[in-house]
């Protein structure tokens, strides 16, 4: 899995090795949440087809800005745009893959999966109301865990982030104090009462947590695994404490009602079900409806189609592939929405 480490540093540049001069190159930018799986898909697709996919993990906010400015061929965001926003920008969006956000901690003596947390406790930590790891609220959830009298150091995203959007949207659902004092967005004003620091991208947050004793942060699950971070258990909407696993991610994803989500605008946090991981999210691709370069537009769609069919690479990295019925919906969206001079250009 060395490719993930290099991809997380800054961006993915998958170069073709076929020596073909006139080769299709597709440029994308945006969310770091799906960067590991986009890296793997692009690497394998290049080997099979010779098509070069350059994807930069710059955060969802940056991806939206770049596709809006048409400086990339596609944008990527974990924070879906509304139909009104899409219509205004002349874009479509569609879900590419689903994954999970996990709280990660660096507490001496605490291993992955040992610590239990609830949404309200996490919110109070990020609000700065809970400042020590042996706070009674945390101890009450972890009677069998020896917690140190150590200050909590909060690590959050410093850039416009879809991971932040989904994480804070979850806290917004769970915590009245968070809802009334902070809210949710890709880029928020973090509570000053909580001592902490911002990291750029999922990789930046993972790095700060990895080297900071007493810290807590939030990252996409693949980053937690790759960096050997101690993820926590979380209590879900059914009151069950769960480990972050493919089973719990799939359980949450199974409840997603894409058919009744205009523009595929759908958030997956706090889904019902005993086995549903509470912090589950989809990540989206953004394209302009009016495509000037019809050859490149078809090449992009061909890559996305191939990626949907090769969900095995996503599963190996603990992402959840999109169900076939959703892929069929997306295929219809491409055919009806991607045009050149008013005519459909997708086969």
- Beta carbons within 10 angstroms of residue 217's beta carbon: 31
Q: What is the pLDDT of residue 347?
A: 76
Per-residue pLDDT tens digits for 212-247: 999 999 999 999 999 999 999 999 999 999 999 999
CATH T-level assignment (fold) for domain 101-255: D-Maltodextrin-Binding Protein; domain 2 (3.40.190)
pTM for the whole structure: 0.91
Q: What is the pLDDT of residue 24?
A: 86
Q: What is the pLDDT of residue 7?
A: 44
DSSP string, 10-78: SEEE----S--SS--EEEEEE-STTHHHHHHHHHHHHHHH--EEEEEE--HHHHHHHHHTTSSSEEEES
CATH code for the part of the protein at 2-99+259-344: 3.40.190.10
Between CA 297 and CA 302 the distance in angstroms is 9
Positions of the chain with pLDDT under 70 = 1-22
Between CA 11 and CA 9 the distance in angstroms is 7
Chain centroid offset of residue 82 CA: 18
Percent share of the chain, pLDDT over 70: 94
Q: What is the pLDDT of residue 255?
A: 85
Q: What is the pLDDT of residue 16?
A: 36
Per-residue pLDDT tens digits for 286-342: 999 999 999 999 999 999 999 999 999 999 999 999 999 999 999 999 999 999 988
Q: What is the pLDDT of residue 346?
A: 87
Q: What is the pLDDT of residue 23?
A: 75
Two tokens, residue 156: 């959050």
Q: What is the pLDDT of residue 169?
A: 98
Domain with CATH 3.40.190.10 in the chain: 2-99+259-344, 101-255
Closest CA to 216 of 230, 226, 235, 227: 230
Question: Who contacts 247 (Cβ-Cβ below 8 Å, separation ≥6)?
Answer: 275
């Amino acid at each position: 899995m060395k490719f993930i480490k290099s991809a997380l540093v800054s961006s993915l540049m998958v170069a073709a090795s076929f020596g073909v001069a006139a080769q299709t190159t597709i440029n994308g930018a945006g969310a770091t949440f799906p960067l590991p799986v986009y890296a793997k898909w692009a690497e394998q697709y290049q080997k099979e087809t010779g098509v070069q996919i350059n994807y930069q993990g710059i955060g969802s906010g940056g991806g939206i800005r770049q596709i809006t400015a048409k400086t990339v061929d596609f944008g990527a965001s974990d924070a879906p745009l509304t139909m009104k926003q899409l219509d205004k920008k002349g874009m479509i969006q569609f879900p590419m893959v689903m994954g999970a956000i996990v709280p990660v901690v660096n507490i001496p003596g605490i291993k992955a999966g040992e610590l239990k947390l609830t949404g309200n406790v996490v919110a109070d930590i990020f609000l700065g109301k809970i400042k020590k790891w042996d706070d009674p609220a945390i101890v009450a959830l972890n009677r069998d865990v020896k917690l140190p009298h150590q200050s909590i150091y909060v690590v959050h995203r410093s850039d416009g982030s879809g991971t932040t959007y989904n994480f804070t949207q979850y806290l917004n659902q769970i915590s009245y104090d968070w809802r009334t004092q902070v809210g949710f967005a890709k880029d928020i004003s973090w509570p000053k009462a909580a001592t902490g620091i911002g990291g750029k991208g999922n990789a930046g947050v993972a790095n700060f947590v990895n080297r900071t004793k007493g810290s807590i942060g939030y990252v996409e699950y693949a980053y937690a695994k790759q960096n050997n971070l101690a993820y926590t258990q979380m209590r879900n909407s059914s009151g069950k404490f769960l480990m972050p696993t493919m089973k719990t991610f799939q359980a949450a994803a199974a409840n997603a009602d894409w058919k009744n989500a205009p523009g595929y605008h759908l958030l997956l946090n706090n889904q019902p079900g005993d086995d549903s991981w509470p912090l589950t999210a989809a990540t989206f691709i953004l394209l302009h409806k009016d495509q000037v370069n019809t050859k490149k537009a078809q090449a992009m769609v061909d890559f996305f189609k191939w990626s949907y069919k090769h969900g095995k690479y996503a599963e190996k990295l603990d992402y959840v592939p999109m169900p076939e019925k959703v892929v069929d919906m997306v295929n219809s969206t491409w055919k009806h929405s991607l045009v050149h001079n008013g005519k459909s250009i997708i086969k």
